[in-house]
Amino acid sequence: MTNLATLQNYVKEIENLHSGTDQSPVWLANVRSQATNSLLDLGFPTSRRGNEEWKYTNISPIVNQKFNFLNSKLDYDLDQIKNSTSWLSNAYNLVVINGHFIPEISDEIPTNANISIESLASAIQSDDPLISTFRQLDEQGQCKLQTFPLISSEGLAEWAGEYVDSILQEKYKGRCWVISSEHIEAEKNSAIYYPQENPDRIDFETLVEINKEILSGDLPL
């Protein structure tokens, strides 16, 4: 059984992290809230008999350790960083601390180095060199542009499953629903998604909003 105090500490840290200056969209705040509530209700996975997915996984070192979220203000010691790792003289050294790129102490990258560092939102927007052309055709009514936030067999199966389920639920007032959605890309690459069995499912409307936030660059990543 997970220590209740440990769970409550995580919940408190999450609330403090997203309080006050948090400008996250409503849908994202709702997803975080649902995840937090699930953590309180279910606790951490245990290696008890019958829980096959975690049967041989001991996560006690994590459960018994108190973790705190990183403060938004990063404190670092350049000399300590250089002494604790291999600072190469014949390469570009890029410093990332707890997921934050620190350009102030990273090597300056020449414009002809063919290296770019950007947010995930920006990378998604610029991933397809023809995206601007497709958007223009879409605006002119020459094509219908559809983008997806989850590009994988698993992601496409989830997207299709939630999309069809949302239509059925609305049309038949909850009397019909999707049991499973299967996406097959190749013989060795496929996925099956079960909407009703996913405790962390994100409904289709939320997936659409996530996609919009990613493409507009407004999603805080």
pLDDT digits 0-9 by tens, 122-172: 555 555 667 778 878 888 888 887 776 667 788 888 888 888 988 888 888
> Does 125 share its domain with 210?
yes
Mean pLDDT within 176-204: 82
Mean per-residue pLDDT for 49-54?
62
| Whether residue 200 sits in one domain with residue 129 | yes
How many residues does this entry show for the chain? 221
84-98 pLDDT, tens digit per residue, is: 777 788 888 888 877
Q: What's the pLDDT at 58?
A: 72
Q: Would you state the pLDDT for residue 92? A: 85
DSSP secondary structure letter of residue 18: T
Instruction: Please report the beta strands in 19-104, taking only residues with DSSP state E, as ranges in sequence order.
Output: 96-97, 100-101
Q: What angle in degrees, to the nearest 10, is found between the helix axes of 204-216 and 153-171?
A: 130
In terms of Cα–Cα distance, which of 63, 81, 82 is closest to 7?
63
Q: Mean pLDDT, the chain, as a whole number? A: 75
30 and 12 fall within a common domain: yes
Do both 83 and 55 map to the same domain? no
pLDDT for residue 191 is more than 60: yes
Structurally, the chain folds into a number of domains equal to: 3
pLDDT over 50 at 56, yes or no: yes
* pLDDT, tens digit (0-9, with 9 covering 90-100), for 59-110: 777 777 777 666 656 677 778 877 877 778 888 888 887 777 888 888 888 8
DSSP string of 202-218, one letter each residue: --HHHHHHHHHHHHHT-
Is the domain of 147 the same as that of 159? yes
Full residue range of the structural domain in which residue 91 is found: 78-117
Q: Are residues 55 and 126 in the same domain?
A: no
**Domain assignment of residue 133, yes or no:** yes
Is 214 found in the same domain as 128?
yes
In a domain? residue 72: no
Between CA 59 and CA 41 the distance in angstroms is: 18
Average pLDDT over residues 11-19: 75
